[in-house]
Amino acid sequence: MNPISAGSPITKLSEEETLFRETVRRFAEDEVAPLVRRMDEEQRMDAALLSRLFELGLMGIEITEEYGGSAGTFFDSVLAVEMLSAVDPAVALVVDVQNTLVASALLRWGTPEQKRKYLPRLAADTVGAYALSEAGSGSDAFALETRAEKRGGEYLLTGRKLWISNAKEAGLFVVFATVDASAGYKGITAFLVEKGAAGFTVGRKEDKLGIRASSTCELILDECAVPAAQMLGEAGSGYKIAMETLNGGRIGIGAQMLGLAEGAWGHAVKHAKERRQFGKPLAEFQAMQFQLAEMATEIEAAKLLAYNAARLKDTGREFRKEAAMCKYFASQMAERVASLAVEVLGGAGFVKESPVEKLYRDAKIGKIYEGTSFMQLAAIAKAIL
């Protein structure tokens, strides 16, 4: 069930986009939904489901046909994340990181050799992860301490990364380290590190409040040897790579929160129409109608922000402010809508059997990762003042 109208020029989809959106929606409802509760309880992604994401082309949406991808648009990635998130935001996160961060960085900054080596794998069977955060560098992402020391034809990376999404399943990591600590952010450099590299270990897996099927782990680099040819971009360009990539990634998180809210709203409406109190359905009480109407209005606003930011990015126009607005508003909205959905369902919404209970837990991370709400407000203020 979708509270959003199709008449807005921004939300209006082409025939191809509509078909793609419906294909992902059916997949989510038919194949993801039956696995959601078990994956959440076991805190792991179903391996067969992960394979299906590759089979459907959802792990290489913007990767060109030359490299085995779907040759889609960034907007297509947003649609996929939105539709998957209505059923399970954890599954959507795997698709989001793969497309809006890892593949996007390679498409934009990779050398021809790196693209030939890694893009076909990302499209076919290899999960990617994006390793920026550390214990002492969260919102201040560039206070990172991981070092990259040049030695002959390779770099030795030493440090620890924390809270890395997709880490358990990933075979390729975009790792940020500094080649010159005295240069500040100008020394930060990106490297392509493969799982299994000497000196590279995926460490402890976090036990999280929400999106539990999506793995979040620490990475330990102990003089991890990375060939110089595995540098992504130029030495010292890591800051630019991270910022440009994260700007797009924030739209992806906005889409995740949008889809989550749409899913929660749909469950709330269904319950309000079916649940009877005082001789009539809850949906016939004006107080309930107003609450559902307010939720739908906020979802519509978030959708306009997310779709507009994605369209701007696809057309090569400036979108940083819109991306920050999208993530900020959508994450605030999703938490409110999911909370209200729990209240609409009452006791039935507070138990594990209810999908809104999980969506409420999943919503909290939206205000935190890929830039906290405070960081988004700072970016917006900088753009408008």
- For the annotated catalytic residues, the residue numbers are 370
Distance between CA atoms of residues 94 and 92, nearest Å: 5
Phi, psi of 73 (to 5 degrees): -115, 170
Q: Are 44 and 215 in contact (CB under 8 A)?
A: yes
Residue 88 is given by DSSP the state -
Work out the angle at residue 76's Cα, subtended by the Cα atoms of residues 378 and 30, and round it to the nearest 5 degrees: 115
Cα 70 to its chain centre, rounded Å, is 19
Task: Return the closest-CA partner of residue 260 out of 33, 97, 91, 85.
Answer: 85
Alpha helices in the chain (DSSP H): 15-27, 36-42, 47-55, 74-85, 89-96, 104-109, 112-124, 238-274, 286-314, 320-345, 355-363, 373-384
Question: To which residue do tokens 């390729």 refer?
Answer: 172
Question: To which residue do tokens 């809006």 refer?
Answer: 100
Q: Are 33 and 26 in contact (CB under 8 A)?
A: no
